[in-house]
Amino acid sequence: MTRSVKPKVPAHSAGDEGNTFKLPEQVDKKAVRQGNRRHELLDAAARRFCREGYDRTSVRDIAEDVGILSGSIYYHFASKEELLVAVHEEGVKRITGEVLRAIAACAEPWERLERACAAHMGTLLDGSDYAQVVIRELPREPGPARTRLILLRDQYEAIFTNLIKDLPLRKGVSLTYLRLLLLGALNSSQGWYQKGNDGDADKPADIAKQFVGLLRNTIDKGDGR
Amino acid sequence: MTRSVKPKVPAHSAGDEGNTFKLPEQVDKKAVRQGNRRHELLDAAARRFCREGYDRTSVRDIAEDVGILSGSIYYHFASKEELLVAVHEEGVKRITGEVLRAIAACAEPWERLERACAAHMGTLLDGSDYAQVVIRELPREPGPARTRLILLRDQYEAIFTNLIKDLPLRKGVSLTYLRLLLLGALNSSQGWYQKGNDGDADKPADIAKQFVGLLRNTIDKGDGR
Amino acid sequence: MTRSVKPKVPAHSAGDEGNTFKLPEQVDKKAVRQGNRRHELLDAAARRFCREGYDRTSVRDIAEDVGILSGSIYYHFASKEELLVAVHEEGVKRITGEVLRAIAACAEPWERLERACAAHMGTLLDGSDYAQVVIRELPREPGPARTRLILLRDQYEAIFTNLIKDLPLRKGVSLTYLRLLLLGALNSSQGWYQKGNDGDADKPADIAKQFVGLLRNTIDKGDGR
Amino acid sequence: MTRSVKPKVPAHSAGDEGNTFKLPEQVDKKAVRQGNRRHELLDAAARRFCREGYDRTSVRDIAEDVGILSGSIYYHFASKEELLVAVHEEGVKRITGEVLRAIAACAEPWERLERACAAHMGTLLDGSDYAQVVIRELPREPGPARTRLILLRDQYEAIFTNLIKDLPLRKGVSLTYLRLLLLGALNSSQGWYQKGNDGDADKPADIAKQFVGLLRNTIDKGDGR
DNA sequence: GATGAATGAGCCTTCATTCAT
DNA sequence: AATGAATGAAGGCTCATTCAT
C-alpha cells in the first residue's frame, strides 16, 4: 500500500556496511551528526569498560560522560550488552587493521610475526581502549552476545594462526601451543604494563619483540639439546 | 597432585536434611563447627567468584550455597571485599604449597621450572577455585585490599623469579620478560582450557611442559643464530 | 452483522514492501492518505487497547504497528489519552449504529430488545476492537477524559433504557435494575467468550437471545411466585 | 551433616496451612509481628490495586502506604505479580467464606442462591478491596500467575454452579448461561455502584435480591408464553 | 551464631512527550 | 507529515550492609 518505509527502530542495528556510495559533494552534516552521538557513546563506553570493567560501569556513567541522560542511551543502543558488543566490534576492527597494516609490506615470516605482535601490543597498551575491552570483557553467561564475541575474537586470532603456520619451524613444534603461548603472554601485559612512563621503560612494540625473540632464539646457554 | 579440592573442609553438597541424630559421644561438635562455617563460606565464595566473577556474585548467593541468610555472613567477614581477600590468601597459600612441593626434591634448574609450571597449571585448571580467583579477580579500584592482593601475588611470583634466575641462560636474555612471558601464557590458559575432556586432550601439567619446552628448545628450523 | 471490522479503512497487514508503483492516474493519493494515517493509528490503538489494555500499550507499540515513529503520533493526537477518547468515540458510534440498525425494522418490544442485545453482543465479541475498548478501558482517575467517556457510554445505554421502558412488564419490576442486569451480563461476556471456536459453540447473537430469554420466560418450575 | 535448616528464602512462600497447632500459651509476639508486615503490605496492595488498578499502582506506592522503602517489599514478596496473586488468594478466601457462611443454615434452593448473591455483592461492594481485585485484575498475558488466578476464580464460581444445579428449573433452561448471566450482572456492579450513599439507595444485598428476583419471578405482564 | 526485617543507594530499562529540522 | 534525538520521570528490582533480638 502506501506505508513509507517503516523506520521502526531508531539508530540500533545500523547495518550500513559496504554500499555507502558517497559522492564527495554529499558531505552533508546530517550524516555527520548522525553517527556522532553513537560514536561518542561508544568511546565513553570503551573507556569505562576498559578502566572499570563492564560490570562496574553503569549506563548512567556512560551517559554522563557524554552529557546526556541515561535513558537517552537507549535511543542508540538497545541494551548495555549491545554497547559491549559494539565496542568489541570496533575493537576487533581496529586491532585487525593495525596488525594487517603492520605486516602488509613484509614477507619474511619471523619478521611478519614480530611486526604483528608489535602492532598488537601497541594497539592494546598505547592505542585503544576498544582493543583492551576485546581481551578483557567477555560476558560470562552463555548467550548470543557471548557467542558473537567469541567468534569475533577467533577471527582475529586466525591472523596469528596463519602467521605461525608460515614460520620455518623445527618438526614437532606445536603450532597451537605456540600461538597460545604467544597471545597469552602478549595479552597478559595489560596486567603489568604501566602506561606513560616514557623514556626509560620499554615501549609496547619493544616488549613484543622481546617476547618473539625469546621464542625465536635459543635462550639456553647449552646447545639447546 | 590432581584434585586437591577442599581439603579438611567437608564438602557442602547441600542435601542433608533430617538425619541430624545427635549422638552423645559427639561432644565437641560445636567446637568443630566453629571454624567450619568460615571454611564453608570461603569455599562457596571461591566457587562463585571463580565461576561467575566477583561482581556478578552476590553475598546472598554465597549465603544460600551455605544455607544461611546473607546478613549472617557479616558475623564471619566484615565485607564482601574481605571475603575476596580471604579467598586470595587461601588461593596463594594453596598454589604456593603445590609449587614448592613440586620442586622440593629436584635440583636441575630447567626441570625445577618445568615442575613448577606444571604444578601451577594443575592447581589452576584442575584443582582449585581459589587459585583461579587469585589470577582473575583483582579489585580494580586502588585501596588497601588491592594493595594487599598485589603484594600476595608478587610474593608468589617471586618463586618463579628465583627459578628463572637459576636457569643457565645465554647472556642478554631478560629474566623479567622471560618470567612475564611464561606466567602470562600459563595464566591465560583459563581462557581456553576445557576441563573434563578426558583422554585425548592434554592435561594441564602437559601443557605447562609444552610451554617450557617451546622456550627451552630451539624452535627455529635454522641454526637459531 | 458479523465481522464489520474496519470499514472504510484499509486493513494494515504490515507486509507491503517494494511494490509501490505510483501510477500517474492515482493522482489524489495524497488527499486520500490525509485522513488515512489517523484512521490507521486509531485502528492500531483500538487493537492494542483491546488486546493488551490501555496501560500496557505504549505509544511506541501503536506507532510501530503503523510504521511511523512514536513522536510522529503527536502530529495526529495530542496525547495518548486523546487516542483513547477517539477510540471510544468511534466505538460508541459503531455499536450504536449496529444496534439502531438492528431494531429499525421491528416494532414488537421484546423482539426489539432481543435484537438490540444480539447486535450489542455481536459487535462486542465478533466485530470490533473499538467496542470492546468502550466497555473495558475507562480512565480510572477523574478528569475531563473520564467525564466525557462516561457521558458517551451513558448516551449509548439510553437506547436500552428506552427499549426496556417499552416492554410490557409486570408492575413493580425495576426498569433500572433490569437494564443493569442485562447490560452487566452482556458485557461480562468479554471475560469468558472464546472467539473462533466455530461450529459447535453458540454465536454471540445466540447468547444474547439466551440471556433475554432467561429474563422473559419463567424459569422456575413452579408457578413463578 | 550439620547444616541447620536452610532458611534460604525469607518470608515468601510461607506455606503454613493446616497444621498450625498452636498451644494457647504460645501466643508469642514473634509470630504476631511476623505476619503483620506481610498483612499490612497485602492490605495496602489490595487497596491500591482495587482503586487504581494493578498497572497504575507502583511498588513504591504500596511501600509508602506501609511506611517502608520499595526495595523492602521484596523481602516479603518475590515480585509485584506475586503480591497480586496473594491478594487474589486472600480475596477468594474471604468471599468464599462469606458466601458459604451465608448459605450454611438454609436449605431452600432459591433462598440459598439469593443469600449467596447477597453475600457476594456485600463482600464485593461494601466489604473488601480484596474481593474486587479478584474480579477486576487478571494478568492479561498468559503465564503461571494467570493460570493460577483463573483456577482460583473457577473454584469459587463452582459454588454458584452447584447452587444453580439445585434450583427447581423448567426443562430446557441452560444452567451455564444462567450462571453467567447472574455472575456477570453481579460483578458488573463495580462499575456503577456508589459506596457510601446510605439511606436512600439500595444496599448491595438488596440489589442482589432484586437481580435474583428478576430471574426467578416472571417479569412479563403476559403469561410468560 | 544466626535471623528477620529493613535501609538506601543504585541498577537497567521504559515511557509519554517535546521540538528543531 | 514525519524524523531524530533527547528529556525527565518513573518503573520493577537487586544489593551490600546494619542491627535488634
Alpha helix locations (H) across chain C? 29-52, 59-66, 73-76, 80-104, 109-122, 129-136, 144-165, 175-192, 204-216
Say yes or no for a CB contact (<8 Å) between C64 and A8.
yes
CA/C1' separation B137–F5 (Å): 39
d(CA A46, CA C200): 63
DSSP C18: S
d(CA B160, CA A185): 15
Neighbouring C-alpha atoms within 13 Å toward the C-beta of C182: 29
User: Nearest Cα to D146, choosing from D191, D95, D94, D82?
Assistant: D82
pLDDT digits (tens, 9 = 90+) for D53-94: 999 999 999 999 999 999 999 999 999 999 999 999 999 999
pLDDT for D19 equals 39
CB C225 within 8 A of CB D218: yes
Neighbouring C-alpha atoms within 13 Å toward the C-beta of A85: 16
* D84-102 per-residue burial string, b: 16 or more CB within 10 A, e: under 16: bbbbbbbbbebbbebbeeb
Name which residue leads in pLDDT, B77 or D33.
B77
Q: Which of B196-210, C3-17, C112-126, D209-223 is the most confident on average?
A: C112-126
Mean pLDDT of C123-142: 93
Mean pLDDT of D20-42: 61
pLDDT for D25 equals 45
CB D164 within 8 A of CB D175: yes
d(CA A185, CA C112): 89
pLDDT digits (tens, 9 = 90+) for C163-217: 999 999 998 899 999 999 999 999 999 999 987 766 667 899 999 999 999 999 8
Helix (H, G, I), strand (E, B) or coil at B220: strand
pLDDT for B79 equals 97
pLDDT for C200 equals 66
Quick check: D197 contacting B, CB < 8 Å? no
CB D58 within 8 A of CB D80: no
CB D56 within 8 A of CB C55: yes
- Give the three cell numbers for residue A61: 556513567
Mean pLDDT of D158-174: 94
Mean pLDDT of A144-170: 96
Across chain A, mean pLDDT equals 86
pLDDT for C85 equals 97
Across chain B, mean pLDDT equals 84
Mean pLDDT of D146-163: 97
- Please state, as a whole number, how many other Cβ atoms lie within 10 Å of the Cβ of residue B167: 18
H or E stretch covering A148 = helix A144-165
Quick check: A72 contacting B, CB < 8 Å? no
pLDDT for A34 equals 59
Crossing angle, helix D175-192 and helix C204-216, to 10 degrees?
90
Quick check: B189 contacting A, CB < 8 Å? yes
Using the predicted structure, report yes or no on whether residue A41 has a pLDDT greater than 50.
Answer: yes
Q: Is the CB of C71 under 7 A from strand F?
A: yes
Q: How many angstroms separate the CA of residue D194 from the nearest CA in chain C?
A: 14
CA/C1' separation A70–E12 (Å): 9
Within D 72-101, residues with CB less than 7 Å from strand E = 72, 75-76
pLDDT for D11 equals 63
- Give the three cell numbers for residue B215: 622456550
**pLDDT band (50, 70, 90) for residue D1:** very low
Using the predicted structure, report yes or no on whether residue A101 has a pLDDT greater than 50.
Answer: yes
- Please state, as a whole number, how many other Cβ atoms lie within 10 Å of the Cβ of residue B154: 10
CA/C1' separation B221–E14 (Å): 63
Using the predicted structure, report yes or no on whether residue A207 has a pLDDT greater than 90.
Answer: yes
CB B41 within 8 A of CB B83: yes
Q: How many angstroms separate the CA of residue B156 from the nearest CA in chain D?
A: 35
Mean pLDDT of B112-118: 97
Question: What is the sign of the dihedral through the CA atoms of D165, D167, D172 and D173?
Answer: negative
Name which residue leads in pLDDT, B189 or A28.
B189
pLDDT for D4 equals 45
Q: Find which of A218, A223, A225 to mutate to test the B interface (most B CBs within 10 Å of its CB).
A: A218
d(CA B113, CA B209): 9
Quick check: B221 contacting A, CB < 8 Å? yes
pLDDT for C123 equals 95
DSSP assignment of chain D: --------S-STT----S-----TT---HHHHHHHHHHHHHHHHHHHHHHHH-TTT--HHHHHHHHTS-GGGHHHH-SSHHHHHHHHHHHHHHHHHHHHHHHHHT---HHHHHHHHHHHHHIIIIII-HHHHHHHH---SS-SHHHHHHHHHHHHHHHHHHHHHHTS-B-TT--HHHHHHHHHHHHHHHHHH--TT-TTTSPPHHHHHHHHHHHHHS--BSS---
Across chain C, mean pLDDT equals 84
- Please state, as a whole number, how many other Cβ atoms lie within 10 Å of the Cβ of residue B158: 11
pLDDT digits (tens, 9 = 90+) for B21-44: 343 444 444 445 557 889 999 999
pLDDT for B5 equals 30
pLDDT for B2 equals 35
CA/C1' separation A69–F8 (Å): 9
Q: Do B and C share at least 3 CB pairs under 8 Å? A: no
CB C34 within 8 A of CB C65: no
Q: Is the CB of A40 under 7 A from strand E?
A: no
Q: Which residues in chain D (3-32) have CB-CB distances under 8 A to chain B?
A: 3-8, 10
Out of A125-129, A135-139, B141-145, C122-126, which region has the weakest mean confidence (pLDDT)? A125-129
pLDDT for C36 equals 81
- Give the three cell numbers for residue D97: 467464606
pLDDT for A200 equals 64
Q: Do B and A share at least 3 CB pairs under 8 Å? A: yes
Name which residue leads in pLDDT, A56 or D9.
A56
Using alpha carbons only, give the angle D47, D52, D54 rounded to the nearest 5 degrees: 85
pLDDT digits (tens, 9 = 90+) for B167-201: 999 988 999 999 999 999 999 999 999 877 666 67
Q: Is the CB of A74 under 7 A from strand E?
A: yes
Q: What are phi and psi of B196, to 5 degrees?
A: 95, -15
pLDDT for D220 equals 73
d(CA B25, CA B104): 42
* C150-186 per-residue burial string, b: 16 or more CB within 10 A, e: under 16: eebbeebeebbeebbeebebeeebbeebbbbbbbbbb
pLDDT for A225 equals 44
Using the predicted structure, report yes or no on whether residue D159 has a pLDDT greater than 60.
Answer: yes
User: Nearest Cα to C39, choosing from C92, C88, C87?
Assistant: C87
Name which residue leads in pLDDT, C108 or B22.
C108
pLDDT digits (tens, 9 = 90+) for C11-39: 233 333 333 333 344 444 444 555 688 99
d(CA A58, CA A63): 9
Using C1' positions and the CA of D4, the closest nucleotide is E2
- Please state, as a whole number, how many other Cβ atoms lie within 10 Å of the Cβ of residue C217: 16
Chain E, protein-covered positions (CB within 7 A): 1-19
Name which residue leads in pLDDT, D36 or B63.
B63
Quick check: A2 contacting C, CB < 8 Å? yes
pLDDT for A127 equals 76
Helix (H, G, I), strand (E, B) or coil at A140: coil
pLDDT for C127 equals 76
Closest CB from C10, C64, C67 relative to A4: C67
Chains that touch B (3 or more CB pairs under 8 A): A, D
Q: Is the CB of C70 under 7 A from strand E?
A: yes
Neighbouring C-alpha atoms within 13 Å toward the C-beta of C31: 3
DSSP C68: S
Question: What is the sign of the dihedral through the CA atoms of D203, D209, D210 and D212?
Answer: positive
pLDDT for A197 equals 65
pLDDT for D126 equals 86
- Please state, as a whole number, how many other Cβ atoms lie within 10 Å of the Cβ of residue B11: 10
Among chain A residues, the shortest Cα distance to B206 is held by A177
Using the predicted structure, report yes or no on whether residue A162 has a pLDDT greater than 90.
Answer: yes
Within A 51-110, residues with CB less than 7 Å from strand F = 67-72, 75-76
- Per the DSSP assignment, residues forming a β-bridge with C169 are D220
pLDDT for B23 equals 38
pLDDT for C158 equals 97
- Neighbour-count burial of C144, counting CB atoms closer than 10 A to its CB (0-12 exposed, 13-18 middle, 19+ buried): exposed
Chains that touch C (3 or more CB pairs under 8 A): A, D
Using C1' positions and the CA of D78, the closest nucleotide is F13
Using C1' positions and the CA of C80, the closest nucleotide is E16
Residue with cell 492479561: D140
d(CA A119, CA A99): 5
Instruction: Tell me which chain B residues have a C-beta less than 8 angstroms from the C-beta of D1.
Output: 10, 12, 16
Helix (H, G, I), strand (E, B) or coil at B74: helix
d(CA C22, CA B189): 63
CA/C1' separation C70–F2 (Å): 10
Q: What share of chain A is helix, strand, coil (3-state, %, to 5)?
A: 65, 0, 35
d(CA A40, CA A68): 11
Residue with cell 615470516: A109
**pLDDT band (50, 70, 90) for residue B58:** very high
pLDDT for B202 equals 85
pLDDT for A220 equals 73
Quick check: C161 contacting D, CB < 8 Å? no
- When computed from its CA atoms, the radius of gyration of chain D, rounded to whole angstroms, is 21
Question: What is the sign of the dihedral through the CA atoms of B71, B74, B79 and B83?
Answer: negative
Mean pLDDT of C46-67: 97
Quick check: D217 contacting C, CB < 8 Å? yes
Q: Is the CB of D71 under 7 A from strand E?
A: yes
CB B208 within 8 A of CB A181: no
d(CA B63, CA B45): 9
Closest CB from A1, A8, A10 relative to C16: A1
Q: Is the CB of D81 under 7 A from strand F?
A: yes
- Give the three cell numbers for residue C15: 507486509
